[in-house]
Every structure is written in C-alpha cells, then in structure tokens.
Amino acid sequence: MDNVKFDEATQKELATFLEREQAQARINSTVHNLTSMCWDKCVTGTPGSRFARGEESCLLNCVDRFMDTSLFIIKTIESQRPQQS
C-alpha cells in the first residue's frame, strides 16, 4: 500500500469514526456477554414458546443488576478522570 498522508481535518474525521466504531464494538460485546451470562444463569431448561415465571424474573433481575453495576462503574471512572479543559 502506498504511504498515504491525510490532512488534519481528515485525520480528525477518521479518528472520530474509529472512536465511534470502537464504542459500538464495545456495546455489542457487552450485550453479547450480558445475554450469555444471564441466559446461562437463568434459563435452566429447554425454552418453549414462553419463559417459565422464575426464568423470566431471573432474567429481568440479572439485566437490572448488570446495568446498575455498569452505570456505577462508569460514573466512578468518570468522577476519577481529571477534568479536561
């Protein structure tokens, strides 16, 4: 590949694009992990057309706890990050 050089505006645009794509990949990974973790924990049998009552409530609680924990971690990290000017 040729040694391609981009102007500053293009470099910023590419950096922004890459940041968005990486954020989307992290979200997709989190959703996949959450789905797998909660499914393994809560779904004990072969699912039919509906979840059993215990499975349904377990899934809801699992997702709620995961989201609460994730938000807590994000807020903690953000509060520890130095203020940017």
**13-71, pLDDT tens digit by residue?**
999 999 889 988 988 888 888 889 999 999 988 878 888 889 989 999 998 998 888 88
Which residue range is the domain that position 33 belongs to? Answer: 8-80
Element (H, E) at 7: none
CATH of the domain at 53: 1.10.287.810
Domain total for the chain? 1
Structural contact between residues 75 and 62, judged by C-beta atoms closer than 8 angstroms: no
Question: Given this model, what pLDDT does residue 23 score?
Answer: 86
Q: Is residue 67 part of a domain?
A: yes
Question: Given this model, what pLDDT does residue 85 score?
Answer: 45
Amino acid at the residue 18: L
> The pTM is what?
0.58
Q: Is residue 65 part of a domain?
A: yes
Q: Is residue 70 part of a domain?
A: yes
